[in-house]
Structure 1
Amino acid sequence: MAAHPARSIRCPHCHAHPGQPCTTRTGRRLPAVHPARLSAHAQATACCPACQVEPGTPCHDHGRARPTVHARRYQEAEDAARLKAQEDTR
């Protein structure tokens, strides 16, 4: 199984370096990435269909900052990663 595309950025929760898996406080490697890393990846790579912000800009609700991205932005990031992976295999 390929590594999740969110591993391409540093994890804001456990501070795992790009390309490395997320870890617990005791250093145990996790099979999945932390939700904060998923959110950071979506923010860095995808436009948000809900609040219309560009990659790199945090999501908001009527001008109020959100702690995470909108659910639709996660989907945009996953779709973009899937398309890039398909193009890379061609």
Structure 2
Amino acid sequence: MTHRYGQTAPMPDSIRHFMRSGKDPARAFPCTHCGAGAHQPCRIPSRGVALAGVHEQRINTRAQTVACCPTCQVTPTVPCHANGRALEGGAVHRARHIEAKDEAA
């Protein structure tokens, strides 16, 4: 639980990041592109400027972690593949992104 002014918040930390309004649920995961920590904004690596959105790699990490892929029939945490080879750069199928969005709702 989060402590504020000596009292605990009514919401457990395990569901707090799903309830943050206006924030992409992918922010609950660290960014593999810029190195931003969980719940921190993505940054432009060369300048350190915070971005309003999140990097595609972070979105892919979330989709791979929480959703099954209907296209290649893999379970969560298993990388998507095409013809027996993992997709380049940790990419995931578009259908897996849709499944991850449905899971967050």
Bin the TM-score by the shorter chain: 0.7 to 0.9
Q: Does 1:4 align with 2:24?
A: yes
Q: Where has structure 1 moved over 3 Å in runs of 4 or more?
A: none
The one of 43, 50, 53 aligned to 1:23: 43
Aligned residue runs from structure 1 range 43-58, under 5 A: 43-58=64-79
- What SS does the corresponding residue of 1:2 show, helix, strand or coil? coil
Is 1:36 matched with 2:57? Answer: yes
Segments of structure 1 that go 5 or more residues without pairing to the other structure are 83-90
In structure 1, give the amino acid aligned to 2:35: H
Counterpart CA distance in 2 for 1:81 and 1:15 is 23
Alignment match of 1:71 (pick from 79, 84, 94): 94
Structure 2 residue runs without a partner (length 5+): 1-20
Q: Percent identity?
A: 46
How far the C-alpha of 1:75 sits from its partner, in A, is: 0.7
Structure 1 length as normaliser, TM-score?
0.87
Q: CA–CA distance in 1 between the matches of 2:103 and 2:86? A: 24
TM-score by length of structure 2 reads 0.75
Higher RCO, Cα 8 Å, sep 6+: 1
Say what the alpha-carbon RMSD is for the aligned residues.
0.9
Which amino acid letter does the alignment assign opposite residue 22 of structure 1? C
More helix by share: 1
User: What do the CA deviations read for 1:3-29 (whole angstroms, capped 9, x no partner)?
Assistant: 100001000100100000100121111
CA distance in 2 between counterparts of 1:28 and 1:4 reads 18
Give the aligned length: 82
